[in-house]
Amino acid sequence: MAAFTIIVNGTTHRVDADPAMPLLWVLRDRLNLTGTKYGCGAGACGACTVLQGDRAIRSCTMTLAAAAGQSFTTIEGLSPRGTDPCQRAWIDEDVAQCGYCQPGMIITAAALLRANASPTAADIDTAFAGHICRCGTYTRLRAAVHRAAEYSK
């Protein structure tokens, strides 16, 4: 056990835990931010995606020690009232089915749009290659990213 400091959604947290504890479990079990989901624990599904700065990362494969001192944004912190262009586009395209994988998808969409204001379909496929949705919302997801890009302009 050791003490670490991480910044999540603008708030600084001191976490006393195993340095090897994945950021995912820090968020969910210690900070009670359950919007970030566990899907595979192996970086293979994208359900646990959060923003590290402007970059989408898998919180299930980043240790607390590696996360120390860094600043993260989870789905809860993306916008105070769900007004981020990605969240609005997700609603307007009615993307979610079971919805479990969607916070991770929305975070990846937000990261994509910060790096690329007008992503092509191929850009979207590349950005989401590491994500899985078992409900099969992929076609609406693509449309939502295009729509979010419009909203961002």
Partner 1 sequence: MSTRRQFLRDSAGALIVAWRWSGVPLSAFAPATDTALEPNAYLRVDGSGEVTLWVTRLEMGQGVRTLLPTILAEELGADWSKVRIEQASPGGRFKGIELHTSGSGSSSGAYRRLRTSAAAARDMLIAAAAKAWSVETASCRAERGWIVHEPSGRRRSFGSLAASASKQPVPEQPRLKDPASFTLLGKPMKRVDGPAIVTGRAIYGIDVRVPGMLFASIERAPTLGGALVRFDADAALRVPGVRHVVPVTRGILPGVAVVADDNWSALRGRAALTIEWASRPGPPFESEQYLAALPSACDRATFKVRHEGDAIAAMEAAASHYDASYLFPFQAHAPMEPMNCTADVRADRAEIWAPTQTDVRTIAQIVKVTGLPESAVTLHCVMMGGGFGRRLFADYAAEAVEISKAIVRPVQVTWTREDDMRCGYFQPATAERFTAGFDAAGALTALIHKTTASDLTIYDIHDGRNIWTAPPKPARGADDYEKDQSPWGAYDTPYEFPALRVDCADVTSAVPVGPWRAVEYPSTVFARESFLDEIAHRTGRDPIAFRLDLLPRDSRKVGPYTIDRARLARVLEQARERTGWSTPASARPGRRSGRGVAANVYHAGSYLAMVAEVSVADDLSDLRVHRLTTVVDCGIALNPLGVIGQTESGITWGLTAALLGKIDFKADAPVQKNFSDYHVMRIGQMPELDTVLLDSGASPGGFGEHPVPLVAPAIANALFAATGIRVRQLPLRLNQRPA
Shortest Å, Cβ 56 to partner 1:
14
Taking CB under 8 A as the rule, does residue 133 contact partner 1? yes
Stretch that binds partner 1, among 51-59, 65-73, 112-120, 137-145 (CB under 8 A): 137-145
Q: In what order do the strands lie in the sheet with 2-8?
A: 11-17, 2-8, 71-73, 49-52, 55-58
Q: How far apart are CA 24 and CA 130, in angstroms?
A: 17
Name the β-bridge partners of 22: 63
Shortest Å, Cβ 12 to partner 1:
20
Q: Which of residues 8-67 bind partner 1 (CB under 8 A)?
A: 17-18, 20-22, 25, 28-30, 32-42, 44-45, 47
Residues 6+ apart with CB under 8 A from 12: 5, 6
Chain center to CA of 58: 8
Question: Given the rule CB under 8 A, which residues bind partner 1?
Answer: 1, 17-18, 20-22, 25, 28-30, 32-42, 44-45, 47, 74-76, 78-79, 81-82, 86-87, 90-91, 94, 96-103, 106, 124-126, 128-129, 131-142
